[in-house]
Amino acid sequence: MEKPSPGKSRATLAKSKVLITVALKDDGMDPADRPTKLYARFLRGEAFAGPNGLVMRHFENGSPYDIEELYIAPPDGKEFFARCPRNKSESGVVSESCLSIFRVDGLDVELRYAPDLLEHWGALNEGARGFLARIGGQKTMTSTRP
């Protein structure tokens, strides 16, 4: 991703920021299992091609996630998934952030970023894991996939 120059507007800068929240893992479901064990029951049947190889699914109206869309890395979203707001004109969404969560080495890691960055999902995922490895003093923090 391109580094923002000082002359860019605040809106442009906000679109290029990624917020990372790191917490000790909770006792709940591993985030890698959410697409198949939590979100699946709220999804509509149809699937669509998403950015950069992702699969996009709509949540059912009236579900807890009906103002969002789910993007998963095939085949099952264990490597990467994101919940992103639907088009503002359809849903009136206030938040403009996508949310991706993963667990690594006893930590739950949450990424929030503008939907425009979703096409760079691979770089976001690997970049966050690399960042955590560098600050944690570990060799690497790789994908949870076998």
Model pTM above 0.85: no
pLDDT score at 135: 85
The pLDDT value recorded for residue 128 is 94
pLDDT at residue 62, as a whole number: 95
Q: What is residue 93's predicted lDDT score, i.e. its pLDDT?
A: 44
One-letter amino acid at 108 equals D
Q: Encode the chain (146 residues) as per-residue pLDDT tens digits.
A: 445 455 555 555 556 799 999 999 988 899 999 999 999 999 999 999 999 999 999 999 999 999 999 999 999 999 999 999 987 545 444 458 999 999 998 899 999 999 999 999 999 999 999 999 988 764 444 444 43
CA distances from 66 to 14, 42, 87, 119 (A): 25, 8, 12, 22
Alpha carbons 134 and 60: distance in angstroms, whole number: 40
